C-alpha cells in the first residue's frame, strides 16, 4: 500500500509500506492492506511504518524501532489521516 506523510514544510515520506500504526484520540490504530476507507484525526505520538526498507531520501526523517521487524517511526504533534483503496495521506506537524 502507498503512504504519503506531509508537513507544511516538506514531504516526510512517500512510498510502499506493509502497514502503518497511528496515534488516534482513542488509542493507536493499525492500518493494513485492504483496510476500509477512513478519515481520522491524530494526536501527538509516533507514526510507525512497517516496511521492508525506506528510500535513503526519507530515511533521515525516521528512527528505526526494530531491526527484526523493520519498523520506522516519525514523531508528530497532531494531524489527520485519510486512507482509501490502499492509498493513505497523513497530514501532520
pLDDT in tens, 25-66: 999 999 999 999 999 999 999 999 999 889 999 999 999 987
Grid cell listed for 56: 535513503
15 Ramachandran zone, left/alpha/beta (phi>0; psi -120 to 50): left
Cell of 40: 481520522
pLDDT band at 84 (very low <50, low <70, confident <90, very high): very high
Residue 8 has pLDDT above 80, yes or no: yes
Task: Give tens-digit pLDDT for 67-83.
Answer: 677 999 999 999 999 99
3-state secondary structure of 81: strand
pLDDT of residue 76: 98
Question: pTM of the full predicted structure?
Answer: 0.94
**With bands split at pLDDT 50, 70 and 90, how would you rate the model's confidence at 89?**
very high
pLDDT above 90 (res 16): yes
Amino acid at each position: 500500500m502507498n503512504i504519503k506523510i506531509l508537513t507544511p514544510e516538506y514531504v516526510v515520506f512517500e512510498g510502499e509500506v506493509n502497514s502503518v500504526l497511528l496515534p488516534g484520540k482513542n488509542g493507536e490504530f493499525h492500518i493494513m492492506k485492504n483496510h476500509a476507507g477512513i478519515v481520522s484525526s491524530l494526536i501527538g505520538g509516533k507514526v510507525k511504518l512497517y516496511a521492508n526498507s525506506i528510500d535513503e531520501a526519507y530515511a533521515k526523517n525516521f528512527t528505526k524501532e526494530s531491526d527484526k521487524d523493520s519498523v520506522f517511526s516519525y514523531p508528530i504533534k497532531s494531524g489527520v489521516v485519510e486512507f482509501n483503496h490502499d492509498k493513505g495521506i497523513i497530514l501532520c506537524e
